[in-house]
A = this chain, B = another copy of it.
């Protein structure tokens, strides 16, 4: 068998059919459960579609044993809003498959969200019942957004909640996101973003770098070493191409021989070596010793291989310099979704007066009425309670704390359909990362414990008179 002449740069035999369907599309409108549209049809028919409504997003409980949750995805919700449009492709599909009637199709063709959205700042910690998002508008406008909003917040918050435990456990050492291959390809981009919200220093995911300006990292896999006739020539090729500051993966064959080859190829100024298998703790100690003996005292050690927050914590006393984290991050480290729900809490009655509503059958209770929220701080500035404020709707809507010990949590995100651009794009990620750092620092010290326990602070209800 001879080395084939064809290379990617000048393909001669590649004939890919042009008729394949697109894997993604600009409109986000069909990322929606069918029942949102059938409810709309029925509500348009009897006029209730235009009743003013307040929906709230909250979670009934944290994943078992978790001390706090981290809200992420708010910026993505806002980014997806302008594309929540029913264009020809969507309308034709809905018509041809009989999902809804022609009156509803007409309505959808002009659909724009013109309501308002309040919510916790992205990156904020949350607790059971925290109203992390509040959507206000007509039933028609607001109900259609349920599925998309929950998809985004449930996934992104699950990842950020896990990521925050990892950056906590890493005690300041950089955590790097490398989980793209263990998540849906688009979810992976959101996971990288959510990880950075919760303190990760970078990601291997190029699309996340492109979309959100995140720092991208990565050098080589085992395949690169195996591609070459021997390890030393692979390392020499990598250093020649990427410079001596690169990270060499030293565990393809024998780790200690790999370290010798690495310093041979990169010199004592080699950037780093990476360990991706075996007993990482024991190996790291040996490799540190070996690097120092070879004079590569500034060469760092990065470890990867099925790390989670517990593994990271177990490496605290070991001389490693950074953590590459994949599977457990992008799957939420045992809690791959957040359980957030989108509930109608108030709606106008037939005379236009907003009334609190709630499901009352046993099993999944929720409290009716619009809530406001604040975090109560103790004298030392640490959080002691999540305060949910309810009562007369207009009073709650206008409520703000009168005392310094209450930090208000709801901020405006969309006003009459206009998205506040501070929360979107790369800037939104930076703001969220800052918000997370501040919010986590404010929690009681016990909040950072990895062991299972109750939420770090209790949620209390306050009713305004």
Residue on B with the closest CB to A159? B184
Residue A442 is within 8 A (CB to CB) of chain B in the complex: no
Contact across chains for B189 and A183 when beta carbons are under 8 A apart: no
Contact across chains for A227 and B43 when beta carbons are under 8 A apart: yes
Question: Which of A125-133, A286-294, A361-369, A400-408 is the contact stretch?
Answer: A361-369
Q: Tell me how many chains of this kind the complex includes.
A: 2
- Name the residue in A3, A10, A12 with the highest tally of chain B Cβ atoms < 10 Å from its Cβ: A3
Q: Which of B22, B79, B181 contacts A151 (CB 8 A)?
A: B181
Q: How far is the CA of A332 from the CA of B183 in the complex (A)?
A: 12
Contact across chains for B48 and A237 when beta carbons are under 8 A apart: yes
Q: Which of B3, B22, B37, B112 contacts A206 (CB 8 A)?
A: B37
Q: Given A14-B418, A34-B217, is A24 in contact with B25 using a C-beta cutoff of 8 Å?
A: yes
Residue A218 is within 8 A (CB to CB) of chain B in the complex: yes
Contact across chains for A218 and B35 when beta carbons are under 8 A apart: yes
A364–chain B nearest beta-carbon distance, Å? 5
- Name the residue in A183, A206, A350 with the highest tally of chain B Cβ atoms < 10 Å from its Cβ: A206
Question: Which of A251-259, A383-391, A447-455, A456-464 is the contact stretch?
Answer: A251-259
Q: Given A39-B223, A223-B344, A347-B226, is A16 in contact with B82 using a C-beta cutoff of 8 Å?
A: yes
Contact across chains for A180 and B147 when beta carbons are under 8 A apart: yes
Residue A305 is within 8 A (CB to CB) of chain B in the complex: yes
Contact across chains for A361 and B220 when beta carbons are under 8 A apart: no
Count the A residues whose beta carbon is within 8 Å of the partner chain — how many? 165
Question: Which B residues are CB-close (under 8 A) to A209?
Answer: 30, 34, 93, 97, 99
Residue A348 is within 8 A (CB to CB) of chain B in the complex: yes
Q: How far is the CA of A153 from the CA of B373 in the complex (A)?
A: 42
Contact across chains for B14 and A362 when beta carbons are under 8 A apart: no
Contact across chains for A42 and B182 when beta carbons are under 8 A apart: no
Contact across chains for B30 and A207 when beta carbons are under 8 A apart: yes
Question: Which of A136-144, A165-173, A309-317, A432-440 is the contact stretch?
Answer: A136-144
Q: How far is the CA of A24 from the CA of B417 in the complex (A)?
A: 21
Residue A95 is within 8 A (CB to CB) of chain B in the complex: no
Question: Which B residues are CB-close (under 8 A) to A151?
Answer: 180-185, 188
Question: Which B residues are CB-close (under 8 A) to A15?
Answer: 416-418
Residue A119 is within 8 A (CB to CB) of chain B in the complex: no
Question: Which B residues are CB-close (under 8 A) to A416?
Answer: 13-15
Q: Which of B26, B113, B349, B363 contacts A14 (CB 8 A)?
A: B113
Residue A296 is within 8 A (CB to CB) of chain B in the complex: no
Question: Which B residues are CB-close (under 8 A) to A114?
Answer: 6, 8, 11-14
A446–chain B nearest beta-carbon distance, Å? 28
Contact across chains for A18 and B82 when beta carbons are under 8 A apart: yes
Contact with B along A205-247 (1 / 0, CB 8 A): 1110111000011111111101111000000011011100000
Q: How far is the CA of A10 from the CA of B106 in the complex (A)?
A: 11
Question: Which B residues are CB-close (under 8 A) to A134?
Answer: none
Question: Which B residues are CB-close (under 8 A) to A148?
Answer: 185
Pairs of residues from A and B, 7 with the lowest C-beta to C-beta distance, nearest first: A14-B417, A277-B363, A35-B218, A184-B187, A42-B241, A24-B24, A150-B181
Give 9 A-B pairs besides A15-B418, A93-B210 with Cβ atoms closer than 8 angstroms: A4-B52, A11-B112, A24-B26, A38-B242, A42-B241, A48-B227, A154-B183, A182-B339, A252-B360
